[in-house]
Amino acid sequence: MMAKLPTLTERLNALRECADAYGADVARWPAARREAFSDLLDTDEVAVILDEARGLDGFLNAATAPRMSEDLTNRIMAGYAAPKQQAGLFDFLRGLAPVVRLAPAGVLAGLGALGIASGLMSASAQDPLTPEYEALAYVDDLSPVAIDEDGGLEWDAE
């Protein structure tokens, strides 16, 4: 089976991408690209494409690199401090000092979480109140209520 040959439009699009990537100067293109497009370089379509690329090249060449003053370079270098070498265990422990300062806060947070968890666990382990005793808690102030010997409520109907 034969491979499909690219059309003229596809080749011109590929040449346009090559000109955008490498510029209008064909000598700066990779050798394989120059060879692949050598038969098209004398056409009017390619002349238009290369003129557009020359405009982009001119724009990019006109841009200058930002200039830094020597004072800026000196200020940056003055602010840079070389990292210190840790000599041993004592220096390592000294480096842990900020972490150790936060230890009391971590302990308090852990104890608070432990207290909340134990309170939740103990509350869920208790038997819930029966509806009668809950009702008694709400209506205790409103009307006198008696509890019989079986633990049932006797309502006073007035």
Residue 32 lies in a domain: yes
**Tens-digit pLDDT profile for residues 93-129:** 777 777 777 778 888 888 999 988 888 887 666 666 6
Q: What is the number of domains present in the chain?
A: 1
What's the domain range around 35? 9-62
> For 50-69, what is the mean pLDDT?
84
Residue 26 lies in a domain: yes
Residue 98 lies in a domain: no
**Tens-digit pLDDT profile for residues 3-28:** 676 788 888 899 999 998 898 898 99
Residue 21 lies in a domain: yes
> How high is the pLDDT of residue 67?
77
User: Which residues make beta-bridge pairs with 154?
Assistant: 146
Do residues 46 and 15 lie in contact, with contact meaning Cβ atoms separated by under 8 Å? Answer: yes
Residue 30 lies in a domain: yes
Instruction: Classify residue 83 by burial, with Cβ atoms within 10 Å: 0-12, 13-18, 19+.
Output: exposed
Instruction: Classify residue 65 by burial, with Cβ atoms within 10 Å: 0-12, 13-18, 19+.
Output: exposed
* Number of residues that this document lists for the chain: 158
pTM given for the model: 0.39
Residue 15 lies in a domain: yes
3-state secondary structure of 146: strand
